[in-house]
Amino acid sequence: MKGIQDYYHDHFAQCYGCGRLNEHGHHLKTYWDGEHTITKFIPKEYHTAIPGFVYGGMLASVIDCHGTGSAALAFAKQQNIELCEHNAPRCVTASLQVKYLKPTPIDGEIEIKGTIAKINERKATIVAELYAGGNLCVTGEIVAVLVPDNFGE
């Protein structure tokens, strides 16, 4: 399954969270599942906070990348871009809000489901729900902003 991150320009594919070209990174992939977006992640044993539970900073990171990836998917759809090679739009995070409802167990896959709550020409708001073992553990809201193709060059 390809993620939007597979379609970023090489220059935009260096993110520690989701860049396919960052050899130290987590290589998160974000894709559509009907009207929602999905990112999955299997934490390593050492991505811990209190033993047995995932580190909150790691969960914030996954939600962050899921937000910018979901926004990029939404802008691609809005602009009728057929994703091929490296022609995806790229977003950065303007703000991130995370609520830890319960500790997230570390012994399995994590799934983040995204909903495009709002979108205009340059800005999108993504609502995220993070599940472990089918239980909702964390919620998030990300405001992501579209950047020009030469951003940071």
Chain residues in the site for a second copy (CB under 8 A):
11-12, 14-17, 19, 22-25, 44, 46-53, 55-58, 60-62, 64-65, 90, 92-100, 103, 147, 151-152
We find the least distance from the C-beta atom of residue 63 to a second copy, in angstroms, to be 8
CB nearer to a second copy: pick between 9 and 113: 9
We find the least distance from the C-beta atom of residue 44 to a second copy, in angstroms, to be 8
We find the least distance from the C-beta atom of residue 128 to a second copy, in angstroms, to be 13
We find the least distance from the C-beta atom of residue 32 to a second copy, in angstroms, to be 22
CB nearer to a second copy: pick between 16 and 107: 16
- Give the integer Cα–Cα distance in Å for 114 and 98: 13
CB nearer to a second copy: pick between 22 and 78: 22
